Structure 1
Amino acid sequence: MKPTPSTVLVVDDTPANLGVVLELLGSTGMRVLVAESGTRALELLVKQPVDLVLLDVMMPGLDGFATCAEIRKHTAWADIPIIFMTAVDDPAQKVRALETGAVDYINKPVHPPEVLARVRTHLDLRAARRDLKQQNERLEAEIAVRLDAEEQLAQSLDRALLVADDSGRLVFHTRRAANLLHKHLPQHKPGRLPPEFASAERYVSKVGALLLHRFTEKSDEKLTVLYLVEEHAPAGPAELVQLGLTPRQSEVLYWIAQGKTNAEIAIILGTSPRTIDKHVEQLLERLGVENRLAAAAKANDILRLVRD
């Protein structure tokens, strides 16, 4: 595919100047828009995406300084390079142009090779800044996902694990285990293995039953690992791992299937919306589907089978 040509907005009320610049930029394949006043330039910017502005200083009505100041008030136009064109060889005026928000200036009468060189330089710089910004955003998103994955490694989506020392102190627990403790023993003492779990293989509470699978580590510091399994538990995120997803992606997909938005999922899972956006992007790619609706359909097929 051919690259999209750059769009340059030329703002000048002098036809002779316009003709030279239009012919020069047009001959290089650039797309050129023309405005004969500052007001018209602002109207065009609202309607058309622009990559660079060549702006005359001396114009009736809104002069170049006022036009530049108005452009810089808009966040959407903040990164558009503005090059002033001025017939006044006054250092103070050039300083004012830069302070107003311009990136460069060209003396009139314009010298075509100089105009072309400066325009190309600032277009290249803008493209490089955009590429760098996109790379930084991708890197930030990847880092957020990796940090989130590391946290989830300790929190283990589909395993409710408790590790207690010989005195009954909990030295480790997954989030799933903590949730089950709060559900079945809401009054249990935080940081301690519930006495009810001391030797039982099954614990029945008011809201259901837990199976307790016990593993003991024989070492200098005796540790007991309890794997909690809720009897007749409703279908949940763990069942979606079979779709080839990571535990965290399965958790995100589960809430998508429940009709939650990315912002809501971020709140539920205690992470940032950007991290959830990245997880959604990755799980859609892994599932080979184009949108959330198709992903939710796949998830519901699995969850329905488990429930049935």
Structure 2
Amino acid sequence: IFMTGLSETEQIVQGFASGGVDYVVKPLKVPEVLARLATHVHNAQVGRLAREAVDVVGMGIVLVDRQGRVAWRSPQAARWLAEALGPVGSADAVWRDWLSEAVAQGSSARPMPGGGELQAQYLGRAGLGEAMLALRTVTETSTQQRLRDAALTPRETEVLAWLAKGKTNRDIADILGMSPRTVNKHLEHIFEKLGVETRAAAAAIVSSSLPPTPPHA
């Protein structure tokens, strides 16, 4: 809170721009100052209780100032950021770059060392103009793990993508510019790698895990 004899509009604006939350011009009116202080104390207590609630439920919340610096983060957010990006101090620039990207784009994700990824979702601006981000971790499903372990080739992945969309061997052959016999050969390898015996079983494995159908010229 600024208490000063400077009362020009430019000076008041500069005070708030410097981080002030209130501006009182001398001569001071004690009852007015006490009322202002009481309001700020109450707001600070409400903010503290809100932060404690976030800590208790283990939410990953980060507040980022307009320079991209972390103004506040919940303990859970600090743990996730340290795991995905490096510890605070040594990885400050990495934190700033990634969180700023999430604010600019609306969301962003980084891989976690143990698998899965850390996702950041921009929620909007908080009371003092900081950007608020919610963090969460997303782990691979058993299906995604199975697909990754199958180590399909790019061509096999394309064939499987179209198979999951209900295309016949002839359709896939026309789309990818190969013979139906070649498609059938790819499917034999796919079934073997996935440990299945039928088209329906292969499609069921990937129905909720495939990326968008690859573009075809």
- Give your verdict on TM over 0.5: no
Larger Rg: 1
So what's the TM-score if we normalise by structure 1?
A: 0.25
So what's the TM-score if we normalise by structure 2?
A: 0.33
Higher relative contact order (CA 8 A, sep 6+): 2
